[in-house]
Amino acid sequence: MPVVAGLGIAMPAQAHQDDLWRGFFAEHYSGTTRALAQRIFANAGVRTRHAVANPLVEDVSGWPTERRMHRYLVEALPLGKEAVDRALTDAGISAADIGLFAVCSCTGYVTPGLDILLARDMGMAADTQRLFVGHMGCYAAMPGLGAAADFVTARGRPALLLCAELTSLHLQPASARVDTQQIVAHALFSDAAAAAVVLPGNARGYAVREVASVTDTSTADHMTWDVTDLGFRMGLSPRVPQVLAQHVRRFIDELLARHGLVLSDVDGWAVHPGGPRILTVVERELALPPGALDASRETLAAYGNCSSPTVLLILEALRQRPEPPRWVITLAFGPGLTLYASLLERV
C-alpha cells in the first residue's frame, strides 16, 4: 500500500500583493485598463506571494527566454533541494533509499534536468529511476503522485515526488491593448517547491487509494502555456469555471463510489485554487458544507496560485490540523481541459 509519509515545502522571498500592485503593476496600466487590473488584483484572493524574481527588485519582463531558463536552473536547484530534504527528514529516510524520483515542472527547460542534478547533489543511488513530468500545469502533482504510488506498489521501494514552479520568471511585457488573461495571471501566480515521499507497507501518513482524471478535449484551447521569445505566456479563458461545473460532480461521485464512499464521507478537501471563482464553482457543484474549502482559500491568500506544488501545500495544511481529516480528496485542473483527483486515506 503506497503511503504519503513525508512532505516538505520551500519558498523564495515573500512579496505582498498590495505592494506588487502599487510598486510595479499599477505603473504599467492606464485609463480603463488600469481600473480593470486594480479590481482583478484586489479580488484575486491573494494576500502574499513568493517570487525568485520580485518585480519590485528586478523587472524580467524584457528578458529573452534563454536568460530566463538560465535563471530557472540557478533558483530551482536550491529551492528543490530544500523541499526534498525536508520531505525525506519528515519521512525518516535518506536520499539513498529512493527508488524513483519524479519531478514536475512547467516553468523551465534544462538538460540535464532537475531530476538528474538533484539526484546527484542529494546522494541518490546510481540505480534510482527518474521521471520528469512537464507542461501538465496546475494538476501535475496528481499524475506525479500516481506514478510514484504505482512504482511503490510494483517495486516495494520508496518514491519521491518534487513539484517546483517559478512562474515569476515569466512576467510578460506590458501590452497597449487590454489583455485580461495576462492581468489575471500576473495577479494570481507565485513560486514554490513541494516534495512528497511515498513509502510502501505500514507507514504512517496518507494512503493513496486512487488517482483519477477526466479530460474534455473540446475545450483544449481554454488553458494554454506558449513558449515565446520573452518567456512562457499563459492563456486562461474565463470559460474555465463553466467547463469545470459540467464535469466535477460526476467525476468526484464516480471516484468515491468505486471505494464505497459518498461526498459526506470526505472530511478533507485540497482543491487547487486556480482563482476564487474556481473554488466557488467547486463548492457549489459539490454542495460542500461551509468551511470545507478553508484550507484552499487560506493557501491562495498566503501563497497565491503556485501551479503544481499548490495541492501539496494544501495537503500539508490539512495534515497539520489538530485533528487531520481521514478521507481527503485532492483536486486540480489544467490544460486539456483536464480534471485530476486523488483519494487519500489517513493511516
Instruction: Judge if 220 and 179 occupy the same domain.
Output: no
The residue from 104, 138, 163, 306 that is catalytic is: 138
pLDDT tens digits for range 96-142 = 999 999 999 999 999 999 999 999 999 999 999 999 999 899 999 99
* Whole-number Å distance between alpha carbons of 345 and 218: 33
The pLDDT of residue 175 is above 80: no
CA nearest to 75, candidates 110, 47, 99, 48: 110
* Whole-number Å distance between alpha carbons of 209 and 195: 19
Q: Which residues of 13-47 are buried (b: 16+ CB within 10 A; e: fewer)?
A: eebebeebbeebbeebbeeebeeebbebbeebbbe
pLDDT of the residue at 176: 59
Q: Which amino acid is at 163?
A: C
Q: Which amino acid is at 104?
A: C
What is the grid cell recorded at 116? 538528474
Q: What is the extent of the structural domain holding 194?
A: 3-199
Domains held by the chain: number: 2
What's the start-to-end Cα distance of the chain, in Å? 10
pLDDT tens digits for range 329-341 = 999 999 989 999 9
Instruction: Judge if 225 and 186 occupy the same domain.
Output: no
* Whole-number Å distance between alpha carbons of 312 and 80: 14
End-of-domain residue from the set 145, 176, 199: 199
- 104: three-class secondary structure by DSSP: strand
* Whole-number Å distance between alpha carbons of 182 and 170: 11
Instruction: Judge if 212 and 175 occupy the same domain.
Output: no
Instruction: Judge if 25 and 97 occupy the same domain.
Output: yes
Instruction: Judge if 212 and 307 occupy the same domain.
Output: yes
Q: Secondary structure of 159-188 in the HEC alphabet?
A: EEEEEEEEHHHHCCCCCCCCCHHHHHHHHH
Please work out, in degrees rounded to the nearest 5, the angle formed at the alpha carbon of residue 271 by the alpha carbons of 320 and 147.
85
Instruction: Judge if 257 and 335 occupy the same domain.
Output: yes
Instruction: Judge if 54 and 152 occupy the same domain.
Output: yes
Instruction: Judge if 132 and 14 occupy the same domain.
Output: yes
CB 54: neighbour CB atoms within 10 A?
21
DSSP secondary structure of 183-211: HHHHHHB-EEEEEEEEE-SS-SSEEEEEE
* Whole-number Å distance between alpha carbons of 4 and 200: 9
Helices (H) and strands (E) in the chain, counts: 10, 13
pLDDT tens digits for range 245-299 = 999 999 999 999 999 999 999 999 999 999 999 999 999 999 999 999 999 999 9
The CATH number of the domain where 335 resides is what? 3.40.47.10
pLDDT of the residue at 177: 67
Instruction: Judge if 175 and 230 occupy the same domain.
Output: no
**Contact 327/344 with Cβ under 8 angstroms?**
yes
Instruction: Judge if 61 and 149 occupy the same domain.
Output: yes
**Catalytic residue check, 106:** no
pLDDT of the residue at 158: 98
pLDDT tens digits for range 227-242 = 999 999 988 888 889 9
For the chain, the residue count is: 347
End-of-domain residue from the set 147, 169, 199: 199
Instruction: Judge if 140 and 239 occupy the same domain.
Output: no
End-of-domain residue from the set 176, 199, 222: 199
State the DSSP code for 157.
Answer: S
Q: What are phi and psi of 130, to 5 degrees?
A: -130, 150
pLDDT of the residue at 161: 98
pLDDT tens digits for range 31-73 = 888 999 999 999 999 999 999 999 999 999 999 999 999 999 9
Instruction: Judge if 260 and 294 occupy the same domain.
Output: yes
pLDDT tens digits for range 183-199 = 999 999 999 999 999 99
